[in-house]
Amino acid sequence: MLRRFILGAVLCLAGGAHAKPPAGGVFCLTYPSAPACTGQQPACTYCHVAPPQRNAFGSQLEPHLAPGVPRPLSDSEYSEALPGALKAIESQDADGDGVSNLEEIQRGTLPFDATSFPVETGGCSAGSNSQYDVCRYDPRFAYRRVLLDFCGQSPTYDQLKSFGALSGDDQRARLDAELERCTASEFWRGKDGQLWKLAHPKIRPVGSIKSGENAGPIPLADYDDDYALYSYAQLDDHDAREVMTAKYFVRRESNPTRYLQETSLPSQKVDESHRAGNLTSAWSLMTFVMFTALPRNAAAQSYRAYLGLDIARQEGLFSIPGEPRDYDAKGVTAEACAACHATLDPLSYPFRNYQGIGGSASASYVPNRLERFFKDVSPTITQTPEAGYLFGQPVNNLVEWAWVGANSDAFAIAAVTDYWKLLVGHAPTAEENAEFVSTWKRFKDTHQYRVQRMLHDLIRTEAYGAP
């Protein structure tokens, strides 16, 4: 089973606790066709439980990494030594699962996890199941799944009989038609429907502090606005990136459900020039910034929710030279903290001027926010810049942050992974990786981030349609 490794430029392999920024790139130059390097790079967890503690693969690798050279290695020493160290243990089996490290790297399974190893899926024969072809894509099986997954209803006997009587081309056309019909259903797009379920971990609703419809006892912000924008960006021929970049808001109407663009809403206060979709919604600012001077939680949640990168799991680490600066005196320069905060803090700077909870300025953009509300937090807090970094690339503000993120491979991978998990039932496995990569690349390039178009590809995959 493949645990998908998300984009991460730090693969923490070196002796000592120091993260090594070149590692992910060097690994992928060594194994460019590895699934972990297709639009992404391995996270620190490929070799570490948590830096400096190594997992089985990292422990096996370390003795071969520039033996005899004083630690910590420089970046250039490390980059030069890593390919040879990786080659030296290719034939070994770090996790003892009977599969060599090289084969696990090439097949997309985990060389440090004995429960993760390549699985041979052959051995069946056509016609071994009286209902479905268990060896290959079966349109009849896909038809049943489409109606269940997108409409929430099993096909009737008459529907199955009618579908089975169609030619191959007509069956494919029927699948497309049913997908279009079902994605217009309340089951798919309505309140608490399938799209709302996909949005739950991104929005993280808490009813007790909800405002608006069904308000809680402490009504701080209305997360229905966030669900509406997310759903709108996923539907019809809309651009999914606008969940991060929209300058507009979205209002939901019921019976039937419709999502309508609005230039303003009474529940939203961020001015148009500083809006970045759901990253700057009232709910996001109230719940993820709250009373914080440097909104690390807001940055980490945005990174995780829309780009699929969880810094707590050592994913997506791009160490910025000279960071962390620790403007708020939280002690993040400590050795145990610095490896992650060298990415997280520069990721957080563009959130500097977005206020969370704070009187009349709540959930709004305040140009002098730190100077006005947080000047006593530390002697250097007001030196915190608004410019930061995303994927190691400089960004001047949060609007630019959102555009860089929305146009990245990470966004496309994360978006397609959401639907893959919902519809296939699990994250892409090693055996499904080729279809998965093709799907997210077409979503980004051919389909220009239109989810509706991508779904027609996804239901054609063997991962979805082979029983």
Please state the three-class secondary structure of the chain as a single string: CCCCCCCCCCCCCCCCCCCCCCHHHHHHHHCCCCHHHCCCCCCHHHCEEECCEECHHHHHHHHHCCCCCCCCCCHHHHHHHHHHHHHHCCCCCCCCCCCCHHHHHHHCCCCCCCCCCCCCCCCCCCCCCCCCCCCCCCHHHHHHHHHHHHHCCCCCHHHHHHHHCCCHHHHHHHHHHHHHHHCCCHHHHCCCCHHHHHHHHHHCCCHHHECCCCCCCCCCECCHHHHHHHHHHHCCCCCCCHHHHCCCEEEEECCCCEEEEECCCCCCCCCHHHCECECCCHHHHHHHHCCCCCCHHHHHHHHHHHHCCCHHHCCCCCCCCCCCCCCCCCCCCCHHHHHHHHHHHHHHHHHCCECCCCHHHCCCECCCHHHHHCCCCCCCHHHCCCCEEECCEEECCHHHHHHHHHCCHHHHHHHHHHHHHHHHCCCCCHHHHHHHHHHHHHHHCCCCCCHHHHHHHHCCCHHHHCC
Give the per-residue pLDDT at 176: 98
Give the per-residue pLDDT at 17: 36
Please indicate, yes or no, whether the overall pTM of this predicted structure exceeds 0.85: yes
| Contact in structure between 417 and 429 (CB atoms under 8 Å) | no
Give the per-residue pLDDT at 25: 75
Domain boundaries, the chain: 23-107, 133-182+408-467, 194-274, 287-403
The two structure tokens encoding residue 456: 């027609």
- Cis status, amide bond into 83, omega within 30 of 0: no
Low-confidence ranges of the chain (pLDDT < 50): 1-19
Give the per-residue pLDDT at 321: 92
**Tens digit of pLDDT for each residue in 240-268?**
999 999 999 999 999 999 999 999 999 99
Give the per-residue pLDDT at 21: 53
Give the per-residue pLDDT at 78: 82
Chain-centroid distance, C-alpha 118:
24
**Tens digit of pLDDT for each residue in 276-298?**
999 999 999 999 999 999 999 99
The two structure tokens encoding residue 104: 């696990």
